[in-house]
Amino acid sequence: QVQLQESGPGLVRPSETLSLTCSVSGGIISYYVSWIRQPAGGGLEWIGRIHTTGGTNYNPSLMSRLTMSVDTSKNQFFLELDSVTAADSAIYYCARDSQGLDYWGQGALVIVSS
Amino acid sequence: DIQLTQSPSFLSASVGDRVTITCRASQGISSYLAWYQQKPGKAPNLLIYGASTLQRGVPSRFSGSGSGTQFTLTISTLQPEDFATYYCQQLNSYPITFGQGTRLEIK
């Protein structure tokens, strides 16, 4: 059974860097992981995705502030978003990206506030 | 970016009803469309991919159709657990985008 779990600080100060980890279990070998966020009461926004080989596709609206990386030895995927503002406050999800996003983490709430 | 417009944004229906949600793309996306169901406080759940392929484990009362720019999600006989928010997503080109959501509530 494939499982994903997000982890990271729930509170980030404005202008600082948001950092999240997605830990994957279930024995899958080669795959993409997408990051998606959802502001409170809002819709879904695709942030970007990364393959286990390290290849990435980013949303142009966030590209200048975004870095994704992977540590395949630990089955962990990382998201860093620089220079955050209150507009970056949201639930952040990671999901396996196959034919659609078929397995999701439970989500990590991140609040940007001083 | 490809814009996805769902209609209606809000739908009130009764258990046993047949409901249809439409997703229109601002340009052709072939069959690269998925549908998700999201319940409050939970992550979205994949229902349909490739516009019409039912994800494993999803009840057969859910079905999807369409190609190009117009797509539909149909629930043949609404069950109490189906009241949720539904999103379409295009996977044809980057950036991947979602529709704004359709909230399905009990009448």
A8-24: per-residue pLDDT in tens? 999 999 999 999 999 99
Report the residue from B55, B94, B98 with minimal CB separation from A44: B98
Report the residue from B49, B50, B95 with minimal CB separation from A60: B95
Instruction: Name the strands in the sheet holding B19-25, side by side, starting at the edge strand that comes first in the sequence.
Output: B4-7, B19-25, B70-75, B62-67
Taking CA atoms, what residue in B is nearest to A94? B43
- Interchain pair B43, A102: CB under 8 A: no
Measured CA to CA, the distance from residue A33 to residue A35 in angstroms comes to 7
Per-residue pLDDT at B4 exceeds 90: yes
In three-state secondary structure terms, B26 is coil
Instruction: Note the pLDDT of residue A20.
Output: 98
Instruction: Note the pLDDT of residue A1.
Output: 85
A68 CA to chain B: closest CA distance, Å?
Answer: 15
A95 vs B contacts (CB less than 8 Å)? 43
Per-residue pLDDT at A28 exceeds 80: no
Taking CA atoms, what residue in B is nearest to A62? B95
Confidence of residue A30 (pLDDT cuts 50, 70, 90): confident
Instruction: Note the pLDDT of residue B46.
Output: 98
Say which DSSP state A86 is in. G
Which helix (H) or strand (E) is A45 found in, with range?
Answer: strand A45-51
A58 vs B contacts (CB less than 8 Å)? 95
Q: pLDDT per residue over A46-91, tens digit each?
A: 999 999 999 999 999 999 999 999 999 999 999 999 999 999 999 9
The DSSP bridge pattern shows strands B4-7 and A18-25 to be: unpaired
Instruction: Note the pLDDT of residue A29.
Output: 74
- Interchain pair A44, B43: CB under 8 A: no
Instruction: Note the pLDDT of residue B54.
Output: 98
In three-state secondary structure terms, A63 is helix
Per-residue pLDDT at A27 exceeds 80: no
- Interchain pair A44, B44: CB under 8 A: yes
Q: pLDDT per residue over B20-56, tens digit each?
A: 999 999 999 999 999 999 999 999 999 999 999 999 9
In a mutational test of the B interface, the residue from A49, A99, A106 whose CB has the highest number of chain B CBs within 10 Å is A99
B74 CA to chain A: closest CA distance, Å?
Answer: 18
Mean pLDDT over A20-36 rounds to: 90
Report the residue from A34, A44, A61 with minimal CB separation from B87: A44
Per-residue pLDDT at A105 exceeds 80: yes
Residue with tokens 């996805």: B4
